[in-house]
Structure 1
């Protein structure tokens, strides 16, 4: 296991993959907190007491400089507290998850059907949080806030108040799926020990930290001037990602409401290009009564994504990976409850048996990339 590669994966791809959802929720949360703080400050800030004696000019200059420097660091600390709390919560939850995956190995790997149900639930929750962030009536109560009873006991300072909710969001981030995270979780699952699994997930989260830190800091600073617009922008982004996540679950479930099924009629009425037809035909070969279907898995998805094969003869599916990444490496055939983790580069063979007449759908682990094999 190469932890350097895991770190680079988090730095270059993990942050971007998860920033739209997790980063959007974090930015929205920070914006709401900043707005509440700005509203409360004028009413709660005590007036400064008048000085009784004037201090020497030199002392005033020195004190002012010292106070300004201290104030600058204090403001910086206030700005970084929410994102620091979020990253701490995220690091803790993902490290514990990695240890669990490493300890239990393949025994803990959920079935495709369980993953599908979890993704549909996650997509619905993400949409709910996004609508709450937009202030849609009926959804405004679905926000991540500390319970009042706990707040009275624990939260004694402004920093602890601004840190608690982001920390909760960070802890809950394991429930918000991201494509690259799935691949790293699969790596932790096969790591062979709790320590290796924990290290894998911890290093990955550390790699995603710079982008999240920047996003949280910008949200904190921009909240004063652009609070309303920032909340709307992040809310819209969260809703869009929630719809994509929900659609991925519907794709895995084979629902007629999934985007690919809604577009089936359009694709059927649109003739395939000669190049696409030739590629699909070349991917199917029959030798000695055995059929072989070959598809490529790259960073752009699966090619060809529509294949016509013969029904009733033994069939092997060969997947040739070339730079595959993210959820593309989690190859899934929902109807067979089958999931294979593809190498980034290499070849994977799956025995399908004799294909019945009909369509066999396949997809990546999050349903973002799909394809089908039609047997006649």
Structure 2
């Protein structure tokens, strides 16, 4: 799976979108601990130097984000395991991917203040908020970490969409990695929002509103396109040029061999692409697709051929032979399990 979009989503959207739900908790912990430290300092010793005070403030930030990372990584592993055990069908994967994309698009439009969307705010149940706020009153050194762990109960809208992606991954490892990368992405801005004074944080959020809204919208469209690819939609990026009447690039003919009335087409599943991306075969012949992998990781190992209702999990290294049967003229599209990478088999009539 390409985790770069997940990282960017966390970096630009997670901190800002989740700050309304979780940012106040972190700010409250830092403020209280600073107040307690100032009281102790006044009573027992001279005021701390600037660097010492900075370190004291960063300890709760680090504890909070560490707890958040642990709980969300475990949740991602659980969701991925559930998705894998359930053996998600192509239709289920398609709906999850499309739904996640639409959620992110909606949150992007809300962040941009688009009429009809600006009032959309995802809030957790009040009982969950009371539970976490009770934890915020703890005076122990573990309080920030416990708060971070409990934020798994307080997902912002963007977090919900990323959780849908982890479920669609069908893998506990990929699910855990997705949630971990997302949380790491939220770290820098989230730490600033929690660490800085409320007024400064409000100013930053205002200045970043447009930029983050555009990034969220872009990530939403990217995720939504994955669902369109899985659905075989003519509006998917890989098909849009053809839908608009453009001439597609010439198909590769060197990847196909014919022997004794059967044909074999060979492609390679790399980390971020299927190569060649478009191969040409002949109609009317029994066809075998050979997919080669070499230390390949990510969702590209989950090969989906929607028109044949087929899903195959490729080994990290090796060859996988897939019987495609006798193909009819046209095209046969395939994607990775999350619609992020795609390829085409162009089927020409025999001369």
**Structure 2 equivalent of residue 5 of structure 1:** none
Corresponding residue for residue 240 of structure 1: 218
The number of residue pairs the alignment matches comes to 325
Match for residue 56 of structure 1?
Answer: none
**Contact kept? 1:123, 1:244, Cα under 8 Å:** yes
Give how far 1:354 is off.
Answer: 0.6
Distance 1:225 1:85, change over 3 A: farther
Task: Quote the offset at 1:264 in angstroms.
Answer: 1.3
Structure 1 partner of 2:122: 144
Matched ranges for 1:352-363 at <5 A? 352-363=324-335
State the match for 2:58 in structure 1: 76
* 1:306 aligned partner: 278
Cα distance between partner residues in 1 of 2:127 and 2:206: 29
Q: Determine helix, strand or coil for the equivalent of 2:234.
A: coil
Which of 340, 346, 350 in structure 2 is aligned with 1:374? Answer: 346
Q: Which has the higher helix share?
A: 1
Residue 18 (str. 1) matches residue 11 (str. 2): no
Post-superposition offset of 1:371: 1.8
Shift of 1:355: 0.6
Structure 1 residues 98 and 253, CA gap change in structure 2 (3 angstroms): closer
Equivalent residue of 2:165, what SS? coil
Structure 2: 5+ residue stretches without partners: 36-40, 138-142
Q: Which residue of 2 aligns with 1:28?
A: 16
Residue ranges of structure 1 left out of the alignment (5+ in a row): 1-8, 49-58, 189-196
Q: Are 2:101 and 1:123 equivalent residues in the alignment?
A: yes
Q: Report what 2:187 is aligned to.
A: 213
**Alpha-carbon shift at residue 121 of structure 1 (Å):** 1.0
For the structure 1 residues 125 and 352, does the alpha-carbon distance in structure 2 shift closer, same or farther, using more than 3 Å as the test?
Answer: same
Larger radius of gyration: 1
> Scaled by the length of structure 2, what TM-score is found?
0.74
Q: Give the secondary structure class of the aligned counterpart of 1:291.
A: strand
| Aligned 1:45-60 pairs, distance under 5 A | none
2:293 corresponds in structure 1 to 321
How far apart, in 1, do the equivalents of 2:179 and 2:99 lie? 24
CA distance in 1, matches of 2:214, 2:270: 30
Instruction: State the Cα distance separating 1:150 from its structure 2 match.
Output: 5.1
Q: Deviations over 1:147-194 (max 9, x none)?
A: 34654576355899x866675228746634279x93xx43x4xxxxxx
Q: Report the counterpart of residue 97 of structure 1 in structure 2.
A: 79
Kindly indicate whether the alpha-carbon contact (under 8 Å) linking 1:18 and 1:178 is maintained by their aligned counterparts in 2.
no
1:95-117 alpha-carbon deviations (Å, 9 max, x no partner)? 4335646xxxx652111111011
Q: CA 1:69–1:287 in structure 2 vs 1: closer, same or farther (change >3 Å)?
A: closer
Shift, 1:343, TM fit: 2.6
Superposed CA offset, 1:212-243 (max 9, x none): 53453245457355222223322221211110
In the other structure, the counterpart of 2:229 is 251
* Structure 2 CA distance for partners of 1:90 and 1:287, relative to 1, 3 Å: same
Query: What residue number does 1:261 align with?
Result: 239
2:316 equivalent to 1:344: yes
State the Cα distance separating 1:286 from its structure 2 match. Answer: 0.8
Give, in whole Å, the separation in 2 of the partners of 1:107 and 1:33. 32
Report the Cα offset of residue 332 of structure 1: 1.1
TM-score calculated relative to the size of structure 1: 0.70
Does the aligned pair in 2 maintain the 1:31–1:230 contact within 8 Å? no
